[in-house]
Structure 1
């Protein structure tokens, strides 16, 4: 089939083809970037926190109504932990100041030297008097976990004492000492200047996400120090239950703490799975919104193609009838309309690819989004071609089915 006659026919009536091409271009530009954003967000939401078998882990937030002084608080924390460990179905218990993906946490700047004017990183700091490594199933790739001898009991109201050792994640070590083959034994400083607090790195954890679960490397910038702090009425515990026992263990844990304090306590529990769902609720909502917008755009584009093709079939009934009378087959009429649509769609795709790159450049500069991979544009282009052919097929088939005698008589 000659392309030139089809092109000439399109040039005689430019408005319809131009509008459809613009629709295709806008849909492709938005669709490609939307799919990319959805993919990136889903990858972020699926990242491992470093906690093994998250479905077995839950947290317990305990607030004693009459906490007492330093000695009373320390004794209460130890009694609470002992009561929780004694429960059936509980594998491990550790107190902590924060929970991974909880969206609320403690962050501190760290440096490789006191002489530095600027810090190397701002990781989160987990504080525990027990073993978060054991309770969370963290993977220590170098060095060791804390021992009971490492743990300091500190009254926050009266003491400025600070732990002397720390665990760090691999990502934190690479940020603080980019060229070091090993981080164990190195001195790290919380803060800068003469008042910076020195700790010795005794172990490196493979992965442990921060409470914020930020995108990129910042989401795995974590440190951990061994301490039991008093000075607050609130104590946070993280517990690991036996497989399939989490829900029952949560109820038992709440009851055990209330019984220990004769009801003079407020206890709240939450599973690690719930922490993940709440952390990524906005991301998942964004993904569904983008998917919905993309589908609506494709529907609008398909409707435009169907409407334009149907109008052209009506306007060309006599021309179609004459061609049929001169020997044109149904497949020839069908091929004509499909080819015409492919030409319009291809023009829109070219504009859409340029628009997709421009839109992605804007997103990269304003939102620090990753650059758009070529495969998303190729998928978008293929979807646009397929959509165009599918949308025009119905009107084209009706045109091919027009009887020569009926077309010429009714024209």
Structure 2
């Protein structure tokens, strides 16, 4: 007679007589847990990468403008055109700053240069994103200057990009790049780095250090913060545009007004492409967001399938044991005893599946680490996920177990 609330012995004996059902449910729990653990880690990694700071403060207030005027040719004419366009945009109400630049973080289009500390032919190099601007990206993007200064007007080089043979003698670097070039130092202003190696390398003096600029490709890993800024106004460069900062909350209106002002000030038709930094971020991480939502949907389906399996198993066993339940109730078993029996049975099956699932999750994680350089599963994932499946098992088994506990003894004993 079943009178205790927790009697694992009789429950285990009953399960051993009918192994197939419990084994299938346990395997289902194990596979779901293993997949869920690693899927959650992948979701976390992708969302964390998509949320990384670009270095640009208040991204929603900054946008990029690419202006193409095919009728303007010649170095001097293009210099004049660039300066006129900058003044035109600065005159638009709500514009706080404008700077010409060859690239923007996360834009998936930019320049990368090989840099070295000494410039010697055999010296080690590091690849870093090159941002070129005659204006103040530090001011327009509101970069955090941790050491040194911004560029001065006399630092700016004006050159034809097709005939340029050297780079400016000064530059601003990110802290990550400074540490990579000078790993044993803590102060970097006044030090030098070289663009390239050998006799043709350009020697550049560090005048400022900014905390962080995300690269145009926005790749994962610490190399994403390796970048530097050079004070160059280049002509014959069809890829450069302008980065503009609007007053807080006015970006949409300012983008429209800037377009109208540029067209009005130009004597020839213009082709204008414009994107906010928020749009640039969304485009860069579109696949990551899509993959995250797909994995979330997979996790939801796994939960649903696992819960359905537990409910189906428990409901089947209740139907098969209706007569036994009635006999036990007639012999004095309380409703709570019947409820505890089925919940204990479910808890034991779920626990077996969880133990196997944790082992499978760690094995799958090692495979993903080896093949796809995925991070190792944090310990709290292997602690919290089993709790979720225990709760899922109890909730899923609750309704069938309560239905079993509510079977009347007289009705049950008449059931064949």
- TM category (shorter chain) comes to over 0.9
- 1: CA distance, partners of 2:241 / 2:137: 12
SS across alignment from 1:62: strand
Trace 1:161-240 onto structure 2 (pairs within 5 A). Answer: 161-240=166-245
- 1: CA distance, partners of 2:241 / 2:412: 81
In structure 2, the CA distance between the partners of 1:287 and 1:319, relative to structure 1 (3 Å rule), is same
> Which residue of the partner structure matches residue 303 of structure 1?
308
> Which residue of the partner structure matches residue 282 of structure 1?
287
Q: Deviations over 1:100-141 (max 9, x none)?
A: 111111111211112253644211000001100011111110
Q: CA deviation at 1:232?
A: 2.9
- 2: CA distance, partners of 1:233 / 1:208: 23
SS across alignment from 2:54: coil
> Which residue of the partner structure matches residue 111 of structure 1?
116
> Which residue of the partner structure matches residue 72 of structure 1?
77
- 2: CA distance, partners of 1:316 / 1:232: 81
Query: TM-score, normalized by length of structure 2?
Result: 0.96
Q: Deviations over 1:227-275 (max 9, x none)?
A: 0111234540001111222112111211222222224221111111111
Query: TM-score, normalized by length of structure 1?
Result: 0.97
SS across alignment from 1:102: coil
- 2: CA distance, partners of 1:118 / 1:308: 67
> Which residue of the partner structure matches residue 9 of structure 1?
14
Q: Deviations over 1:358-383 (max 9, x none)?
A: 11112222222221111112121011
Q: Deviations over 1:171-209 (max 9, x none)?
A: 111112111111111111122233222211111001111
SS across alignment from 1:398: helix
Structure 2 residue 159 is the aligned partner of structure 1 residue 154: yes
Q: CA deviation at 1:51?
A: 1.0
CA contact (8 A) 1:63 1:266 kept: yes
Quick check: 69-78 or 110-119, which moved more?
110-119
- 2: CA distance, partners of 1:94 / 1:34: 42
> Which residue of the partner structure matches residue 81 of structure 1?
86
Q: CA deviation at 1:28?
A: 0.7
Q: CA deviation at 1:216?
A: 2.2
Trace 1:360-379 onto structure 2 (pairs within 5 A). Answer: 360-379=365-384
SS across alignment from 1:123: strand
> Which residue of the partner structure matches residue 382 of structure 1?
387
**Counterpart among 129, 132, 152 of residue 127 in structure 1:** 132
> Which residue of the partner structure matches residue 31 of structure 2?
26
- 2: CA distance, partners of 1:351 / 1:43: 29
SS across alignment from 2:99: strand
SS across alignment from 1:60: strand
CA contact (8 A) 1:63 1:235 kept: no
CA contact (8 A) 1:20 1:344 kept: yes
Where does structure 1 lack aligned partners over 5 or more consecutive residues? none
- 1: CA distance, partners of 2:287 / 2:248: 29
CA contact (8 A) 1:154 1:161 kept: no
Where does structure 2 lack aligned partners over 5 or more consecutive residues? 1-5
- 2: CA distance, partners of 1:323 / 1:93: 83
> Which residue of the partner structure matches residue 291 of structure 1?
296
Structure 2 residue 349 is the aligned partner of structure 1 residue 344: yes
- 2: CA distance, partners of 1:255 / 1:2: 79
SS across alignment from 1:107: strand
> Which residue of the partner structure matches residue 140 of structure 1?
145
Structure 2 residue 277 is the aligned partner of structure 1 residue 272: yes
Quick check: 360-369 or 51-60, which moved more?
360-369
- 2: CA distance, partners of 1:326 / 1:183: 85
Count of aligned residue pairs for this structure pair: 411
CA contact (8 A) 1:124 1:221 kept: yes
> Which residue of the partner structure matches residue 63 of structure 1?
68
